[in-house]
Amino acid sequence: MANTGKRVAVVLAKNFEDIEATSPIEALEGAGAEITIIGTETGPIEGKKGAVLEATTTFKDVTLADFDMLLIPGGGAPENLRIDGGAVAWTKAFTESSKPVGAICHGAQLLISADVLRGRTLTAVNKVRDDVRNAGGNYVDEALVIDGNLITSRVPGDLPQFNDALVSALNGNS
């Protein structure tokens, strides 16, 4: 498909859940999006199961205007990103910009640290449901939850619905 001119920021750190990054990236690229991997530093980032994706930029080198959507894959990456002040501040600002934000599995951990879940309904892997509630979010156990600009799913089994929702949001359909 032709490039849509839409740009998606994928925030990653080591130990990301491979399929939760690669599957949405493939779906978004298939819809014509340009993907940029953002890390705490540039270079290869290794997933839990051996996938390697290249961070071509860092949080200090990008602006919100550079992107149309934010994707936060799960696994250990959100836990590693949430201790980085730049990653947290950038995620907070992006989420508050009302542009689409997709988070799957442990991705909610970065949103929790960014303090953007108060009053929002979302889902995540059930291991972080209490953390979501403690951050003021309304946790529900569903395959896909869309609350305004926030698009969330629980686990790799939810990827078909999650990917469809991301592509729809990227194309301006909610």
**Active site (catalytic) residues:** 105-106
HSE, side-chain direction, 13 A CA sphere, residue 97: 17
The Cα 3–Cα 120 span in angstroms is: 32
Question: Contact 120/148 with Cβ under 8 angstroms?
Answer: yes
